[in-house]
Amino acid sequence: MPGRRFRVTGRVQGVGFRYFVWREAETLGVHGWVRNRADGTVEALARGTKEELDRLQDRIQEGPQWSQVVSVSVAEESDEDVGRGFEIRKDEV
């Protein structure tokens, strides 16, 4: 199953961004995780069909109401096993 790693910059911490990504991923049936990074960005790894990942990417670029997404870097990912479901992981230290 294809995967993508997203790195989101902007006002993306403290605004419900991880919950937003989790909710969108759950709605789409995408598997993976999302977490805050120590550098102020948000990182997510998602697996699903190309269509599901495209839709998730579109939603991440929009972000929740209180966020301000400046950029989203996307890398194709094929190695990491993400298991089933989608989770909010502890912040990176």
Told to judge if 4 belongs to the known catalytic residues of this protein, a careful annotator would answer no
Catalytic residue among 4, 7, 11, 18: 18
Told to judge if 36 belongs to the known catalytic residues of this protein, a careful annotator would answer yes
Catalytic residue among 23, 35, 36, 37: 36
Angle formed by the axes of helices 50-62 and 17-28, nearest 10°: 150
Contact 56, 30 (CB under 8 A): yes
DSSP 21-56: HHHHHHHHT-EEEEEE-TTS-EEEEEES-HHHHHHH
Residues annotated as catalytic (active site), given as ranges: 18, 36
